[in-house]
Structure 1
């Protein structure tokens, strides 16, 4: 996780889960900042301290990271279930 702030246990768990996701197979080190921002915004939403712009930014980042069905479609990604 990027340095510069104290990450909570829940944020660390979300970070690990995101980097274990099928989408993470398409990410490289250039995605670290975007994933970190997603984690920060998600944390604010989960603890009810998020502003409207943070919720909107999380939605945008989720799409750009391929974490939503619409984002996956836009990126041309398909997760095959076996």
Structure 2
């Protein structure tokens, strides 16, 4: 799961400080998928997925979209600063 997330289009927008967030997301998600997570853990996994831009809601809140074929970046910020 670690390798898959870091190979995702969203990962190009993460810096090294995202590593602990990704690790936390993995631990919580595996607990949810394994049926051992408490409700707060499931809620935190959803929250982290949004913060990492792994959901449509998260991508929208971060102002990201997946690049079209032929664009240079994998994830393109919608807002130009």
- Measured against the shorter chain, the TM-score band is 0.7 to 0.9
Listed as ranges, the matches of 1:62-77 within 5 Å are 62-77=49-64
In the alignment, the residues of structure 1 paired with residue 50 and residue 35 of structure 2 have an alpha-carbon distance, to the nearest angstrom, of 22
Give the structure with the larger strand fraction.
2
- TM normalised by structure 1 equals 0.81
In the alignment, the residues of structure 2 paired with residue 80 and residue 26 of structure 1 have an alpha-carbon distance, to the nearest angstrom, of 12
- TM normalised by structure 2 equals 0.82
Match of 2:38 among 51, 57, 81: 51
Structure 1 unmatched runs, 5+: 1-13
Q: State yes or no: 1:32 paired with 2:19.
A: yes
4+ residue runs over 6 A deviation:
none
- Per-residue CA deviation, residues 44-66 of structure 1 (Å, 9 max, x unaligned), is 01111000000000000000000
Give the structure with the larger helix fraction.
1
Structure 2 unmatched runs, 5+: 70-81
Counterpart in the other structure of 2:2 = 15
Larger radius of gyration: 2
In the alignment, the residues of structure 1 paired with residue 68 and residue 37 of structure 2 have an alpha-carbon distance, to the nearest angstrom, of 34
Q: Kindly tell me the number of residue pairs found equivalent between the two proteins.
A: 69
